[in-house]
Amino acid sequence: MNRFVMAVTAAVLATGVAHAEVTEEMLLNDTASTGDVLTNGMGRHLQRYSPLETLNKDNVKNLVPAWAFSLGGEKQRGQETQPLVHDGVMYITGSYSRMYAIDIKTGKEIWQYDARLPEGILPCCDVVNRGAAIFGDNIYFGTLDARMVALNAKTGDVVWNKKIADYKAGYSYTAAPLIVRGLVITGNSGGEFGIVGEVQARDAETGDLVWTRPVIEGHMGTLNGEESTMTGELNATWPGDMWKTGGGATWLGGSYDADTDTLVFGAGNPAPWNSHLRNAGTPVEGNKGDNLYAASRIGIDPATGEIKWHYQTTPREGWDYDGVNEVVAYTDRSDNKRWATADRNGFFYVLNREDGKFVSAVPFVKDITWAEGIDDTGRPIFIEEGRPGDPTAAADGKKGEVVFASPSFLGGKNWMPMAHSPKTGLFYVPSNEWGMDIWNEPITYKKGAAYLGSGFTIKPNYEDHIGSLKAIDPDTGEIKWEFKNDAPLWGGVMTTAGGLVFTGTPEGNFIAFDDETGEELWSFQTGSGIVGQPITWEQDGEQYVTVISGWGGAVPLWGGEVAKKVNYLNQGGLLWTFRLPAQLAAK
């Protein structure tokens, strides 16, 4: 059976769980509420910070496994989920669009749901799923055939199942949804297939569309079933009809800031990668080759889907530097409300939270080749010889000049989420030091076919490491400490008031660092590569930490020479939960 639910009422009752409804107020206060984890990012600001300090630098050495849960079967591949915890139940998603409900006291499965995936799905970068959202009595998650499913959180039964987009055209969905005031808000995936990035809001109870907002200029948004406004201005920054297949996938989902009542979504690479076809390969009059709003962060009104502001991190994009990396709301040391985002292009940006305007940018990886820096207006200072060449200028017209570009298209930072500690004021950023040989090729759009117009080979920049976890001061841009890892880092980061920073490595090590010095204080070998996202919560006076282990994601599929470097790593699918026993908390 492709879809099955194991959900016997007696099994649920055996947990002794009341299953109280999740409210908007509970989502708003998720960070402060330490007995559960109700949102992706441990707060809709995505800080991934816990105020818990029972577990700390002195006693983290006493952290021990409490239970482990296997996802089972042959459907392994990359496991990138962030668990949610509510009323004694943990909810996780798995590869191939699966959902599990687990008793947090015992690790016993309560129910499982498997989506009925059709033949011919086109996920670009593994069959991953990054998590769910919970609201009311339901739990929500997306599927690889670009659908959004609402399940009853108690039983796993389907409440509604809605189509986001046409998977046959290359659309898919991998992000955790976002809930704001009774709306389920989603992006879309498929940027390598000439799709159009979009944000959608649905009624959480019915699944009915409330609004849609395409993020590429020239496309019309909708509100309550009627056309609302056009995104941008038709052909303002795009040549001809290229806006119709302009990319900009919103594949990582978004964040929400209650102070300014703003959703922020990132838009991915413009399509195709060959920037010369989009008039972006050489400077043109005005901003014709910027290709808005691809490679941008976009502030959106959650009630209507109207765009409030945008900031484009990589105008004239030509290296697949997606602009989707998470945008984290925080307050700096001078009490200024800020956004922070670490881009694929290698720069760490700070924006004003009120209007999205540029504040500062610094490199967070070394050897950036495409730009000298960011000017006072927030625009890159391009190194023109760092752009892959125009195929039409080549003797054979088939392959443009090959250049070495750094970072690689997998980014200074890819999807893997960073964390922010209000206690230290630092951001803890998982990054990778790698580059690529890249060249452009002729390409024409065909529905459902890859739409790149480029070729590439990824290479490590250094012999001693690729992965690099960096502690960055957003006020100064200073890197306070760095942890170097042989293989690329591809998992999420979490920090706590106990002075700890948690993340995992592809080699399978789950590690706790000192948040001020970067000293390794504790580690545990999980048996497979960690590309998931850790969480922590308290239960019965004890602090728990959970992370999923299961190697996969984009690196083994797209990593070139880097993929060969890590091809010995084993796949898996095991959810580990650790606890600090009360009797060891003071030691």
Q: With the C-alpha atoms ordered 536, 77, 167, 149, is the resulting torsion angle positive or negative? A: negative
Q: Is residue 22 part of a domain?
A: no
**Is the peptide bond preceding residue 272 cis, with omega within 30 degrees of 0?**
yes
The CATH number given to whatever domain includes residue 80 is 2.140.10.10
Give the angle subtended at the CA of 126 by the CAs of 489 and 292, to the nearest 5°: 85
**Is the peptide bond preceding residue 407 cis, with omega within 30 degrees of 0?**
yes
Rounded to whole angstroms, the Cα distance separating 536 from 513 reads 15
Which residue reads 């076919």 in tokens? Answer: 449
pLDDT at 7 over 60: no
Please provide residue 485's backbone torsions phi and psi, each rounded to the nearest 5 degrees: -130, 140
pLDDT at 66 over 90: yes
Q: What percent of the chain has pLDDT over 90?
A: 86
Specify the pLDDT at position 230.
98
Residue 440, annotated ligand binder? no
Q: Is residue 523 part of a domain?
A: yes
pLDDT digits (tens, 9 = 90+) for 238-250: 999 999 999 999 9
pLDDT at 42 over 50: yes
Residue 287, annotated ligand binder? no
By three-state DSSP, how is residue 552 classified?
Answer: coil
Instruction: Give the confidence band of 433 by pLDDT, cuts at 50, 70, 90.
Output: very high
Rounded to whole angstroms, the Cα distance separating 519 from 511 reads 10
Rounded to whole angstroms, the Cα distance separating 482 from 364 reads 11
| Structural domain total, the chain | 1
User: What's the mean pLDDT in 145-159?
Assistant: 97
pLDDT digits (tens, 9 = 90+) for 79-105: 999 999 999 999 999 999 999 999 999
Residue 464, annotated ligand binder? no
Specify the pLDDT at position 542.
97
pLDDT digits (tens, 9 = 90+) for 374-396: 999 999 999 999 999 999 998 88
pLDDT digits (tens, 9 = 90+) for 459-491: 999 999 999 999 999 999 999 999 999 999 999
Rounded to whole angstroms, the Cα distance separating 21 from 585 reads 32
Instruction: Give the confidence band of 14 by pLDDT, cuts at 50, 70, 90.
Output: very low
Specify the pLDDT at position 177.
98
Specify the pLDDT at position 19.
65
Kindly list the strands in the beta sheet with 138-143, ordered across the sheet, starting from the edge strand earlier in the chain: 133-135, 138-143, 147-152, 158-163
Q: Is residue 281 part of a domain?
A: yes
Distances (CA, A) of 478 to 53, 261, 365, 485: 26, 30, 12, 20
pLDDT averaged over every residue in the chain: 94
| DSSP code string of 379-417 | -EEE-GGGSPPPGGGSSSSS-PPPEEESS-TT-SS-S--
- Which run of H or of E encompasses 12? helix 9-13
Cα distance between the two ends of the chain: 50
Residue 269, annotated ligand binder? yes
Specify the pLDDT at position 124.
82
pLDDT digits (tens, 9 = 90+) for 359-376: 999 999 999 999 999 999
Q: Is residue 211 part of a domain?
A: yes
Which residue reads 């046409």 in tokens? Answer: 166
DSSP E strand stretches across 473-516:
479-485, 494-496, 500-504, 509-514
Catalytic amino acids?
A: 320
Specify the pLDDT at position 91.
98
pLDDT at 442 over 70: yes
pLDDT at 347 over 60: yes
pLDDT at 4 over 60: no
Specify the pLDDT at position 1.
39
User: What's the mean pLDDT in 111-130?
Assistant: 90
Specify the pLDDT at position 5.
44
Q: Which residues pair with 404 in a beta bridge?
A: 437
User: What's the mean pLDDT in 282-301?
Assistant: 91
Please provide residue 94's backbone torsions phi and psi, each rounded to the nearest 5 degrees: -130, 170
Q: Is residue 13 part of a domain?
A: no
Q: State which residues form the domain around 196.
A: 37-112+126-584
Q: Are 267 and 250 a contacting pair, CB within 8 Å?
A: yes
Residue 320, annotated ligand binder? yes
Specify the pLDDT at position 120.
83
Residue 434, annotated ligand binder? no
Residue 333, annotated ligand binder? no
Specify the pLDDT at position 74.
66
Instruction: Give the confidence band of 397 by pLDDT, cuts at 50, 70, 90.
Output: confident
Rounded to whole angstroms, the Cα distance separating 75 from 503 reads 24
Q: Is residue 292 part of a domain?
A: yes
Q: Are 115 and 104 a contacting pair, CB within 8 Å?
A: no
- Determine how β-strand 226-230 pairs with β-strand 254-257: unpaired
Specify the pLDDT at position 558.
79
Residue 507, annotated ligand binder? no
Specify the pLDDT at position 17.
44
Q: With the C-alpha atoms ordered 156, 158, 161, 167, is the resulting torsion angle positive or negative? A: positive
Q: Is residue 12 part of a domain?
A: no
User: What's the mean pLDDT in 349-358?
Assistant: 98
Specify the pLDDT at position 13.
40
Kindly list the strands in the beta sheet with 427-432, ordered across the sheet, starting from the edge strand earlier in the chain: 419-420, 427-432, 467-472, 479-485
User: What's the mean pLDDT in 305-324?
Assistant: 97
Q: Is residue 155 part of a domain?
A: yes
Specify the pLDDT at position 564.
77
pLDDT at 115 over 70: yes
